[in-house]
Amino acid sequence: MQLLKVVLCAALTGGVVAHPGADIHAEVQKRAEHLANPSRRTLADCTRELHESGYYKHRLARRLERANALRAELGHAPSADENLLPRGPLEERQRAACVTDPEVTEGPYWVSGELIRSDVLEGTQGVKLNLDINVIDVSTCKPIPNIYVELWGCNSTGVYTGVVAKTNGVGLAAPQEINNSALRGLQATSANGTASFITVVPGHYTGRPNHLHTIIHHGATKLPNNTIQGGTISHVGQFYFDQNLLSSVEKTAPYNTNTQALTLNSQDQLFKQGQGGGDNPVVQITQLGNTVESGLYGFIDVGVNPTARRNPSPVNFWTANGGMPNRASFWQGYPWTKKIREVIGI
C-alpha cells in the first residue's frame, strides 16, 4: 500500500505532465486502486488450469491456422510454425503471454451504440490489424462464449473518430466528425471465447502512446439493427503494442504525417500500471508478409470476472441519425472540467 502511494504520488507530481487532452491522473489513480484490491484475480492465476485443460495448446493451433489463412489471402505461402510465432519456449508461446485485466476508465472518447461488425475500417488508411481478442473468465479459468467485445481506437494520425472535442484532432472546427463511425464496433465471442476484428494499428496522440480501448459486455440483447442493448459491463481496458513494432509502423504513411508529440510506452504511467500485478496488455503480433505494411495478425487474452460491474459513461451515442452527444455524460466539455473531476473523484 505504501509503495502504491509512492508510485501514485510520483505519477501525480511528476511522471505525467498534464498534456492538454491527455491528462491521465484520474485514470492512474483508478488503476492504482484496482491493483490494490486484495481479492483481485488475473489470468496469471489461471495459467496452470488453462494449460492442463488443453486451452493453450488448442489456441496455439487455432492461431497458426488463422495466421496462415490471412497469409493465404495476401497470396503468401503458409509459413512454418516457428516463423509465425514470436520466439520463446513452447509453453510461453502457447500461453501467448498476453494476459490483461487492467481496469482503467473508458476515457473521454467512448461512443456507445456502435454496430456489431468485425471489419471497422470504413476505408481508413493504416497498417491493417487482424485482431483476435480471447475472453477468459478468471473465476472459472474458462473461455466465455457468446458475449460482446467492444473495440475502438484513434486513427493512424492519432484522432478519434466520432467525437468532437477541443483536444481531439482539429477539435470543434470539424463538427461533422460526430458522424464518423470508423474504427469502432462490437463482435460476439465464438465458442472459444474469441472476438475477431479488422482495424488499423492506432496512431499516437499528444500525451499517450498508441493504444486501443475495449469494453466487455455480458448478457446484452442483439437488436434487429445490429446493435446491442442492456446487459452489464465487467471490464474496461486498453491494449498496447510493442515499441519496436511501433517504430516500424510509425515510419510508414500515413503515420509519418502525424505531427503530435510521440509518447513511448515506457513514458506512459497507464502503460506501466497496465503491466502491474502479473498483467501484460501488449498485443502479441505476427507480421503476415515481408513488411509491416502487408498487415498484422494480433492476439490478446483478456481475463474478466463476469460478475464485476463497471459503469462507464459514453460521451456520445451512435444512432440511426448518426452521432448524438450524451448530454448526461460527465465527459461532455472535456478536457477536465470541475464536473469530470468530481465524478472521477480527484
Q: Does 221 bind ligand NAG (CB under 6 A)?
A: no
The site that binds ligand NAG (CB under 6 A) totals a number of residues, namely 28
Nearest Cα neighbor of 27 from 101, 100, 103, 110 is: 103
CA dihedral 143, 310, 273, 267 (to 10 degrees): 110
Cell of 19: 498534456
Contacts (Cβ under 8 Å, ≥6 apart) of 314: 106, 110, 111, 112, 113, 326, 329, 331
Instruction: With contacts defined by CB under 6 A, name the span among 63-71, 87-95, 97-105, 174-182 that binds ligand NAG.
Output: 174-182
In the bound complex, what is the minimum distance in angstroms from residue 266's beta carbon to ligand NAG?
25
Contacts (Cβ under 8 Å, ≥6 apart) of 239: 100, 211, 212, 213, 214, 281, 282, 283, 300
User: Among residues 4 and 90, whose Cβ is nearest to ligand NAG?
Assistant: 90
Q: How far is 228 from 218, CA to CA, in rounded Å?
A: 10
In the bound complex, what is the minimum distance in angstroms from residue 316's beta carbon to ligand NAG?
11
C-alpha distances out from residue 339 to 36, 329, 335, Å: 26, 10, 11
User: Locate cell 472459472: which residue?
Assistant: 140
* Residue 182: φ, ψ to 5°: -60, 155
Q: Does 313 bind ligand NAG (CB under 6 A)?
A: no
CA atoms within 13 A on the CB side of 275: 12
Q: List binders of ligand NAG among 93-122 (CB under 6 A).
A: 113
In the bound complex, what is the minimum distance in angstroms from residue 125's beta carbon to ligand NAG?
5
Q: Does 320 bind ligand NAG (CB under 6 A)?
A: yes
Contact call for residues 85 and 97 (beta carbons, < 8 A): no
Q: List binders of ligand NAG among 65-94 (CB under 6 A).
A: none
Q: How far is 311 from 105, CA to CA, in rounded Å?
A: 9
In the bound complex, what is the minimum distance in angstroms from residue 328's beta carbon to ligand NAG?
15
Q: Which one of 156, 263, 287, 316 is in contact with ligand NAG (CB under 6 A)?
A: 156
The CA-based angle 219-343-20, given to 5 degrees, is 105
Instruction: With contacts defined by CB under 6 A, name the span among 26-34, 168-176, 239-247, 280-288 that binds ligand NAG.
Output: 168-176
User: Among residues 102 and 108, whose Cβ is nearest to ligand NAG?
Assistant: 108
Q: Does 134 bind ligand NAG (CB under 6 A)?
A: no
Q: Which one of 175, 231, 307, 339 is in contact with ligand NAG (CB under 6 A)?
A: 175
Q: Which residue is nearest to ligand NAG (CB)?
A: 322
Q: How far is 237 from 214, CA to CA, in rounded Å?
A: 5
Q: How far is 170 from 159, CA to CA, in rounded Å?
A: 9
Instruction: With contacts defined by CB under 6 A, name the span among 12-20, 78-86, 186-194, 237-245 that binds ligand NAG.
Output: 186-194
Q: List binders of ligand NAG among 222-281 (CB under 6 A).
A: 223, 225, 227, 254
Q: Does 197 bind ligand NAG (CB under 6 A)?
A: no
Q: Which one of 83, 140, 247, 319 is in contact with ligand NAG (CB under 6 A)?
A: 319
Instruction: With contacts defined by CB under 6 A, name the span among 16-24, 34-42, 262-270, 312-320 that binds ligand NAG.
Output: 312-320
Instruction: With contacts defined by CB under 6 A, name the span among 3-11, 184-192, 204-212, 236-244 that binds ligand NAG.
Output: 184-192
Q: How far is 27 from 11, CA to CA, in rounded Å?
A: 11
Given the rule CB under 6 A, which residues bind ligand NAG? Answer: 54, 58, 62, 113, 124-125, 155-157, 159, 169, 175-179, 190-192, 223, 225, 227, 254, 318-322
